[in-house]
Structure 1
Amino acid sequence: MEQNGRLPENSSDLKGDAPDATDFANYFCTYAFLFHQKEMLEDHKRTGAYYTAIMQNQAQFKDKVVLDVGAGSGILAIFAAQAGARKVYAVEATDVAKHARKLVQHNRLGSIISVIQGTIETVELPEKVDLIVSEWMGYFLLRESMLDSVLVARDKFLKPGGALYPSHARLYVAPIRSNLTHSRQNEFRNAMEGWASFTDDMQRYYGVRMDCLNDSFRDEQKQYYQQTAAWADVSPNQLAGRPWCFKQYDLLTVTPQEIIDSFKEHFELQIIEAAPIEAFAGFFDVQFKGSPENPASFEVLLSTAPDPQCSTHWGQQVFHLYPPINAQPGDRISGDINISRKKENHRLMQVVFQHCIIPRQQQPQAATPKLQSTERVDFFSIE
């Protein structure tokens, strides 16, 4: 609460600029709502992993200066203070910073935590920090592009030898069976049948022919139903092969340009069950290892892989394949995955799979074969 026109102690005089209007509309606006914060906090696999990583490594946090990037409700800043941090700067771009201030004061941590409203790119801190904590991960790890801001914070504020929590991240793809593939295909057919009825009615009742738009409508519906990745909570028994880790990041050393640039990585999916491969599932994990100079004494893994016991709000991104791939045990799907940012909104992603199936009896004993011209290409967006 303000008293005599002055801000509470924990808000300090530090501040940054608000996000620009376009970025606010495309990304930041939803994070200002407590409902959205609640959805993330009640993901106990997520929140519990951060709590364990911080509280089981209190020696790494004791008497240290910590920066929380994209602080949201301030929960990670509070964990850091509970672990013994001397000072915590919680930077949050949206108005949820006001709620974070209330939480900090209510938990009697105002002398330790300063909540700063503004983008990390425009904030200036009075000192360098020993640790950066942040929950920056989006769907399929990179959607939302918040890692950009974490790297800005690292390069601006982290002391030499400092650590990031999490410290490492990995991306995976796996072949799966999916009933949703069939339902989305049926929805696509229904949409096209509905369009045909609509155009007939327009001509019958109003004398207007609209069939010149048939191809445009079909392309639009195909992009939505067949070329847009879907959120799903995949069960482990849907896996038809072993997941493949195709990308790893060390957050202490990865450059901003490596994150911004599109990239292509190879994958090899070994099929272990006779089943039509109806989709690829994409997911990630992050590791809390500290840094070489300040290693975690208790390492924690937060995984979004299919899990029968405890899923996460990230779920998995499912890329439906039309038509499915017929595969047998021992077959291998060999291919490349290309990931880039969408030009019209850099926080969304474009994913292209370029792949072919190699039957077991045709597999060479040596190195991975070069993809042939008969390979298949599937395009997707992550919205």
Structure 2
Amino acid sequence: MEQQNGHAPDHAADLKGKDPDATDFANYFCTYAFLFHQKEMLEDHKRTGAYYTAIMQNQAQFRDKVVLDVGAGSGILAIFAAQAGARKVYAVEATAVAQHARKLVQHNRLGGIISVIQGTIETVELPEKVDIIVSEWMGYFLLRESMLDSVLVARDKFLKPGGALYPSHARLYVAPIRSNLTHQRQREFSNAMEGWAGFTNDMQRYYGVRMDCLNDAFHDEQKQYYQQTSAWADISPQQLAGRPWCFKQYDLLKVTQQEIIDSFKEHFELQIVEAAPIEAFAGFFDVQFKGSPENPASFEVLLSTAPDPDCGTHWGQQVFHLYPPINAQPGDRISGDISISRKKENHRLMRVIFQHRTTPNQPQPQAAGMKLQSTDRTDFYSIE
């Protein structure tokens, strides 16, 4: 029987786990089964390059180690780990794209090192503990998709004491921005309402059916979509009206599964640096590849999704539009709390609430007998 890289061919096919349940497959996993989607992620060279650098520049940390790739997709991270000298790599993928990953592994003559296992990580059993877990689990605004849950399950089930996660740390940011997209969505909202008015008139004119009793319901539905749902955008740094604020940090070796599941509220303060209408908040994240205290990376890597004039990522930024915008001057401060929770109807989607106020750098002149208008406000959003 042919030897590959000094190892016998893969005999781990019997390690197959269970498929995702039908609802979770339809809500999340189904898109990842397509090569088109895998290609889209691999073509994000800032993403793929960061993982490649983090692994290949730390070959001493991977050499002769046992590695687990959670949510392996095409198997690219497992291949990087094998190229870096790992003794054994388990690539666990919940969808049928595992079949393509297995073919890719064999085609690159790494079948003796990499075992591709199809099934959810929650249902897979490995024959040994692992030294390193690699995973590209991040969703929009870091936490959408809730893939981190599975990584923490793998950590608690399979990682040896002193083992490392790649990435090892994650941070969430918010920043004040100017955004033409805010005006565009407002126009689309107005157009949708005008279209509804014409529709109800036509229904009564041609069919004798009055539908104006649904006006409020249609308005609320469209408002939620256009004004209370975050939007993906590739923001230019020139749109930033103030410095980003890091409001949440995770040490992935220490954070618990319950901490990730629970909703949380964190404080933020945004210092405005130029006169501009603040038309939206932008949310983004970064992850760090530091290894573990017992096996630290000799070459640390940062993968950031912050606005970048040269190289954005497929994650982009999440834009939370403000209606109306905040009129701000240099030195003004927007401060408050951001709350993030999972949607009850789909735990892979998020709800975000901003409770904030604007404090001017210079006290505003107040006419005699006039009360100063409050700047306190609360804005609600969904990340779909």
Q: Normalised by the size of structure 1, how large is the TM-score?
A: 0.95
Match of 1:225 in 2: 226
Match of 1:243 in 2: 244
Q: How far apart, in 2, do the equivalents of 1:105 and 1:192 lie?
A: 56
| Unaligned segments of structure 1, at least 5 residues | 1-7, 364-371
Q: How far apart, in 1, do the equivalents of 2:166 and 2:341 lie?
A: 25
- Kindly indicate whether residue 45 of structure 2 is the aligned counterpart of residue 41 of structure 1: no
- Kindly indicate whether residue 263 of structure 2 is the aligned counterpart of residue 262 of structure 1: yes
Q: How far apart, in 2, do the equivalents of 1:10 and 1:62 lie?
A: 22
Q: For residue 153 of structure 1, what is the amino acid of its counterpart? A: A
Q: For residue 77 of structure 2, what is the amino acid of its counterpart? A: L
Q: How far apart, in 2, do the equivalents of 1:77 and 1:275 lie?
A: 47
1:9 CA drift (Å): 2.8
1:216 CA drift (Å): 0.1
Q: How far apart, in 1, do the equivalents of 2:196 and 2:13 lie?
A: 58
Q: For residue 134 of structure 1, what is the amino acid of its counterpart? A: S
Match of 1:367 in 2: none
Moved more, 77-86 or 353-362: 353-362
The answer on whether the counterparts of 1:10 and 1:110 sit within 8 Å (CA) in structure 2 is no
Match of 1:117 in 2: 118
Match of 1:366 in 2: none
Figure out how many residues of one structure are paired with residues of the other and give that number.
Answer: 368
Match of 1:275 in 2: 276
Percent of residue pairs identical: 90
Q: For residue 240 of structure 1, what is the amino acid of its counterpart? A: A
How do 1:148-297 residues align onto structure 2 when only pairs under 5 Å count?
Answer: 148-297=149-298
- Kindly indicate whether residue 146 of structure 2 is the aligned counterpart of residue 145 of structure 1: yes
Encode CA deviations 1:205-253: one digit per residue, 9 max, x unaligned.
Answer: 1111100000000000000000000000000000000000000000000
Runs of 4+ in 1 over 3 A off after TM superposition: none
Q: For residue 147 of structure 2, what is the amino acid of its counterpart? A: M
1:13 CA drift (Å): 1.6
| Unaligned segments of structure 2, at least 5 residues | 1-8, 365-372
How well do the aligned residues superpose, as a CA RMSD in angstroms? 1.2
Q: How far apart, in 2, do the equivalents of 1:26 and 1:132 lie?
A: 25
- Kindly indicate whether residue 352 of structure 2 is the aligned counterpart of residue 351 of structure 1: yes
Q: How far apart, in 1, do the equivalents of 2:105 and 2:127 lie?
A: 20
Q: How far apart, in 2, do the equivalents of 1:188 and 1:71 lie?
A: 40
Match of 1:12 in 2: 13
Q: How far apart, in 1, do the equivalents of 2:75 and 2:239 lie?
A: 37
Q: How far apart, in 1, do the equivalents of 2:379 and 2:264 lie?
A: 16
Q: How far apart, in 2, do the equivalents of 1:10 and 1:373 lie?
A: 68
The answer on whether the counterparts of 2:10 and 2:113 sit within 8 Å (CA) in structure 1 is no
The answer on whether the counterparts of 1:170 and 1:245 sit within 8 Å (CA) in structure 2 is yes
1:155 CA drift (Å): 0.1
Secondary structure of the structure 2 residue equivalent to 1:9: coil
How do 1:50-61 residues align onto structure 2 when only pairs under 5 Å count?
Answer: 50-61=51-62
Secondary structure of the structure 2 residue equivalent to 1:13: helix
Encode CA deviations 1:233-275: one digit per residue, 9 max, x unaligned.
Answer: 0000000000000000000000000000000000000000100
Q: How far apart, in 2, do the equivalents of 1:257 and 1:376 lie?
A: 30
Q: How far apart, in 2, do the equivalents of 1:11 and 1:302 lie?
A: 32
Q: Normalised by the size of structure 2, how large is the TM-score?
A: 0.95
Q: How far apart, in 2, do the equivalents of 1:99 and 1:143 lie?
A: 26
1:361 CA drift (Å): 2.5
Secondary structure of the structure 1 residue equivalent to 2:348: strand
The answer on whether the counterparts of 1:34 and 1:96 sit within 8 Å (CA) in structure 2 is yes
Q: For residue 191 of structure 1, what is the amino acid of its counterpart? A: A
Secondary structure of the structure 2 residue equivalent to 1:345: coil
Q: How far apart, in 2, do the equivalents of 1:61 and 1:373 lie?
A: 56
- Kindly indicate whether residue 91 of structure 2 is the aligned counterpart of residue 83 of structure 1: no
